[in-house]
Amino acid sequence: MALPGSVTTCLSPPVHYMICKLGFEKKGTYDINSILSEDGEVRWQAVTEHVCYLESDQSVDYIKSIRSLGPVCESVNLHFKSLTKEQFVSQYALWFRWTNYTELFLEVFDVLQYTQTTEVALGLMKLTSCLERALGDVYLLIGKDCPFLLRDLLASEQLAVVFGQAVMNVLRVFIGSPYGLNLRNVLWHGFASPQDIPAKYCAMLLFLTAGLGQLLQTYLRQTKCVLVHRPYVIFFSLEELDVFPDLNHETLCIAEELVKLSGFVLKPMLPFWMAALTAFKQSRYADCVILLLPQLEAGLRLLFTTINKCPNRLLTAEPSALYTTFDEMLAKHLGNEEVNQLPAVLEEPAMEFLWDFLNHQEGPRVRDRLSHGEVNLEAFPREVANQIVAFAITLLCRFSDEDMFAFKEHMVIKPLMNCASCYRSRFHPISRLKKQVLACMKSIHLWPELPTAPEEHIQTIKGLERNAEASTLILMISEMVSRLQQYMPQNCCSTDDPINSVLTERLLIELCDRRICTLYSPRPVLEILVVLRKISAQCHQVSEQVIASTELRYKQWMNKTLRSRQRHNYLRMLNSIKFLSPVLRLVLVLITLELVNIHWVCEKNPFDYQQYLKFLKSVLQYTENLVTYTSPEKNKWDETMELTNKALIKIRKIGDRKLMLMQLAT
């Protein structure tokens, strides 16, 4: 698809004027000694007096404030340029410690010496995310739940108590308010090109961060409080993020050619793309992703505005309106309730990738984590950067005004295109449930290998007359499996031994391999998924408890350290395992068959939906009780029989009433 390539800036005229011109209207500079004491302390009053207020309601007048602060920023920038690195470190390093990332602020100083526009923008993005995290830590000295949005954080009473309202107003002129310069947002959302960001604003934020450190030290000394830094978020299970093959030097060189040719890239943003690829080559993975994510957003915004015929949304919005960001672009509908055309053009695999990496609560949420300072930039994993860059390369190929056939068929690009075209969600609740079910089945499959007391020992102990009850339960389970077989794949059906030949890992793998639509799941689907996932989690816990108890009791049995009552209890447990394994496997198959047909829940009328939800919650209650009874503290193994009998009767009744989704689907 050809995209318009003539865009010169994504800043609307008012925002462009505010960022690029307003702060330069008032000529001249200030003597640095008027805003910085001989001891290197920020003279805050000399800074805050430049913030102007509206006569009507005494709120900040952002236009006048930016104009007035412009020369102050210039003075700070010139001051920093006059310092050697050693002078800067000795004078300021101490005041950055409160951010928990002093090195970053020293890096930003280096960047300011050379004023390469791309590096200044990158430095500002990193500085603002780190500053936000540090301010959140300060907020938690007084408040409980730290606001998610920087705008709300800067407007909070808690930070005003620590730093003073006037100081917070200075910060809001530069970041956090849509009425001010809003530097953080215009950069992180991909609106600002490298040349749009004056270096002096980066210098000023560096200066203000040091000043905040000085104010904080005074506050901590007076209140005897201790600033605690929240731990960084760590990306776990990196293998789950492994979608694309590892990018080599040749692929990255081809990507550099693609960037120059692809219509997906806004021409003013070209330096950001090149800098991102360079950062990847240099193993600066956080820098790479910080540079690239806003450009993915800018490229998708160009695509979004083209296909939805709303070119005005390519630019920054007015302060009273929302920017067009990933959230709006990935939504099902536009603001006017018309259907968003972008998902259809991107197609499901690309949409699922974007939702997985950016939005789903259990996914890496890479942009949120980076932009809010939640991850350690120095330890950012290559694996995550590799996936983002590879995905970006596929978009460069797909959406271009050039003939990209040669690129798409290239031996290093073709595997990327193939991976992108068959991507399936990994972090949607549907995908998480599939993973849970298979993990639980794997756990139950370990049961037959568990050590058990020798049979002759079991025969010598009286009081185990409940074998008949266990056999009755197993018969009930067999009968239910036979009734369920009509809803299963034909190759998984059996009449000889329904339990052991049907309730298998192979069946679950086959069911879980079925593609289920994850995009824009309706509310009833999400509500049912919550209950199904809880059931699966409880089943897994029962399995883990059975494994732990069996191994412990066997060891104690063989060491002859079990008292008479404990021996009886151990043997009751072994007896219960005979039916617990089939019933847990039955529950897993049941919830997986329901999962495969999950979207049929939307066909139920409100009454039937409530009845169905009530039934699932009763199954959940059964599994929760099983967790309690099989715990080391309770050890109520006989009671599990009565519990299971009632649960099976209830499941059979619901089956007879045809309330299951699998029945609705047929």
266 with 136, same domain: the answer is no
The C-alpha atoms of residue 131 and residue 155 are separated, in whole angstroms, by 15
- Quote the tokens at residue 274: 């090149």
Q: Are 199 and 77 in contact (CB under 8 A)?
A: yes
Question: Which candidate, 573, 581, 509, 587, places its Cα nearest to that of 543?
Answer: 581
406 with 441, same domain: the answer is no
The C-alpha atoms of residue 65 and residue 68 are separated, in whole angstroms, by 5
Residue 356 lies in a domain: yes
**Mean of pLDDT values over 513-538:** 96
- Quote the tokens at residue 629: 């009874």
58 with 168, same domain: the answer is yes
- Quote the tokens at residue 571: 């043997």
Question: Hey, is 559 helix, strand or coil?
Answer: coil
pTM beyond 0.85, yes or no:
yes
Query: Could you give the number of structural domains in the chain?
Result: 3
Instruction: Name the pLDDT band for 321 (thresholds 50, 70, 90).
Output: confident
Long-range contacts for 557-561 (Cβ within 8 Å, ≥24 apart)?
557/453, 557/457
Question: Which candidate, 634, 641, 537, places its Cα nearest to that of 579?
Answer: 641
Tell me the CA distances in angstroms from 501 to 449, 586, 652, one per residue in order. Answer: 18, 12, 21
DSSP class per residue in 158-205: HHHHHH-HHHHHHHHHHTT-TTS--HHHHHHTT---GGGS-HHHHHHH
Question: Which candidate, 142, 95, 134, places its Cα nearest to that of 230?
Answer: 134
- Of 360, 389, 421, the last residue of a domain is 421
Residue 612 lies in a domain: yes
57 with 196, same domain: the answer is yes
Whether the pLDDT of residue 48 is over 80: the answer is yes
416 with 454, same domain: the answer is no
Question: Which candidate, 133, 252, 128, 253, places its Cα nearest to that of 201?
Answer: 128
Question: Which candidate, 73, 66, 81, places its Cα nearest to that of 29?
Answer: 73
Quote the percentage of the chain above a pLDDT of 90: 72
The C-alpha atoms of residue 244 and residue 486 are separated, in whole angstroms, by 38
**Mean of pLDDT values over 175-184:** 94
Q: How many CA atoms lie within 13 A of 409 on its CB side?
A: 4
Residue 229 lies in a domain: no
The C-alpha atoms of residue 552 and residue 557 are separated, in whole angstroms, by 9
- Of 421, 444, 465, the last residue of a domain is 421
pLDDT digits (tens, 9 = 90+) for 208-217: 999 999 999 9
Q: Which domain holds residue 69?
A: 13-223
- Quote the tokens at residue 385: 């950067």
- Of 170, 195, 223, the last residue of a domain is 223
457 with 578, same domain: the answer is yes
Q: Are 440 and 586 in contact (CB under 8 A)?
A: no
110 with 258, same domain: the answer is no
385 with 448, same domain: the answer is no
Give the contacts of 99 (CB within 8 A, at least 6 positions apart). Answer: 105, 130, 131, 133, 134, 209, 213
461 with 585, same domain: the answer is yes
Tell me the CA distances in angstroms from 314 to 148, 297, 300, 311, 381, one per residue in order. Answer: 25, 11, 10, 6, 32
Place of tokens 């925002």: 15
The C-alpha atoms of residue 419 and residue 387 are separated, in whole angstroms, by 11
Residue 7 lies in a domain: no
Residue 491 lies in a domain: yes
Return the pLDDT at 85: 96
259 with 339, same domain: the answer is yes
Return the pLDDT at 463: 46
**Mean of pLDDT values over 512-517:** 94
Q: Are 587 and 623 in contact (CB under 8 A)?
A: yes
406 with 530, same domain: the answer is no
**Mean of pLDDT values over 609-615:** 95
**Mean of pLDDT values over 240-255:** 94
pLDDT digits (tens, 9 = 90+) for 64-105: 999 999 999 999 999 999 999 999 999 999 999 999 999 999
Give the residue, 469 or 395, on which the prediction is more confident.
Answer: 395
158 with 288, same domain: the answer is no
Return the pLDDT at 459: 54
The C-alpha atoms of residue 244 and residue 534 are separated, in whole angstroms, by 31
Computed over every residue of the chain, the mean pLDDT equals 91
**Mean of pLDDT values over 128-149:** 96
